[in-house]
Structure 1
Amino acid sequence: MVRAQGEVKIYVMGQEDFVLDDVLFHFNEGERAVYTGLNYTFELFHKPGWLGLQLPALANWSGAYMIELSFPNGSESHHVFTVEKNTSFPSEEDGWFWYPVNPIRVSLLPRTEP
């Protein structure tokens, strides 16, 4: 679990991306689970994790398909997530927007300012 503050870029289909500074976030990585296939083979996969963002009201926030997160955390300061959607999520509760996410990239080098 990571709880910190950083820059968030939210990609939404058909409109300009949202870029917000100093956003409080909360991230829980998804669990690993064993999936039994139709032919009784077993696969290990990651269930989606949860990314909560404390944001002001945003139009079409639930249309997000990808989220970038940058925060001061040494060697792992830049993350990119895809948003997994279903009929119940993403959701909003008490000023927090909750997205089920799968990480697709983590940078291993600290971000440098120009």
Structure 2
Amino acid sequence: MSHRPQFLITLLLLLSAFIYIRFLSDVRAVPLKRGLNQFPTHIGEWVAIQDEAMDKKTLDILNVDDYIMRHYQNHNGHSLWLYVGYFQDQKEGAMIHSPKHCYPGGGWQPIESGIQT
């Protein structure tokens, strides 16, 4: 028994899905309700002590629609940096990327990763 018809049908379905996703899907942009600069400056014991701005070259490379890069500190003097990049829609040249790859590429060494509530 030949598997050629099954292979061709599978190939046709995959090709159709690719064409639909790449050219025909109507991806709606999701606008922010307010700018990321409205993110709280006090979160529990953490207080924002400094907002950082990216240079033009970095912004041009990221092609981010909005971002916040903020330094927080608690009463013990411990620090953390918060970066949130917002991309209104996902398209070639304006896509999110994983901090697991981005930070080491920028010379940072992650110490811990997790969810805090």
Instruction: Tell me, yes or no, whether TM beats 0.5.
Output: no
**Higher relative contact order by CA 8 Å / sep ≥ 6: 1 or 2?**
1
Higher helix share: 2
User: When the two structures are superposed, what TM-score results if normalisation uses the length of structure 2?
Assistant: 0.30
Q: Is the radius of gyration larger for structure 1 or structure 2? A: 2
